[in-house]
Amino acid sequence: MQTKNQIAIDGPAASGKSVVGKLLSKKLDYLFLDTGLMYRAATKIITESNILFSDLKNIKQLIKKASFELNSISHEPRLLVNSKDLTDSLKTSQIDKDVSTVSKIPEVREILVSHQRKIAKHTNIVMVGRDIGSIVLPNATLKIYLDASVEVRTNRRLNDSQQNFTHNDFDIIKRDLIQRDNSDSNREHSPLIIPKGSVVIDTSDLKITEVIDSILKELENL
């Protein structure tokens, strides 16, 4: 039985999920989990173990044995994998390219979804990702789907301070986002969809504070 508030935020890459989710969790004093970090972490440990993405047996064994812990201090979530903080090493261009492949693997999704549900079971939480309202938390208190034009999302990714992009990379980033959208929406398991019952918010022309205010109003009206 669900006794805690669960806010599920879904949407495509660079739609504002993580920024909005983190600030919203601070306002509500909820735990924050960006599930994308877990898939990025899985991608990192797979590649560092020199396991081919086609080697499903060894991938499943690796991810099943791995421990995933969320350490949230002052609403700054840190993801520990096998007791090692990987948070600051997960936003690289190579992981950007590989994570979609890893996230398609049913065995990986099954294991990580189990971790995500356990985290959400005993605490109020804002959880963001691509299958939160549809798969991970289908009975969430509130479901939000954030979207934005591919041009706006490209500029957001371009201006990401954690990556060394230049304005000459615009077309490359746009192409990669379109490919990621297509991959996420058409994968066989847990595709990116607008979950049933979701409130859809186009963030293209909205400030972050406006998006958060919209979500808070929806929460108040429940």
Residue 210: inside a domain, yes or no? no
CA distance 178 to 27: 32
Residue 209: inside a domain, yes or no? no
Domain containing 51 equals 6-203
Count of alpha carbons within 13 angstroms of residue 54, beta-carbon side: 0
CA distance 138 to 6: 10
- What CATH number is attached to the domain comprising 105? 3.40.50.300
What is the reported pLDDT for 1?
A: 53
pLDDT digits (tens, 9 = 90+) for 123-140: 999 999 999 999 999 999
CA distance 129 to 115: 14
Query: What is the DSSP annotation of 37-82?
Result: HHHHHHHHHHHHTT--TT-HHHHHHHHHH--EEEEEETTEEEEEET
Residue 222: inside a domain, yes or no? no
Number of independent structural domains in the chain: 1
pLDDT digits (tens, 9 = 90+) for 31-61: 999 999 999 999 999 999 999 999 999 999 9
Residue 155: inside a domain, yes or no? yes
The mean pLDDT of 8-24, rounded to a whole number, is: 95
pLDDT above 80: residue 205: yes
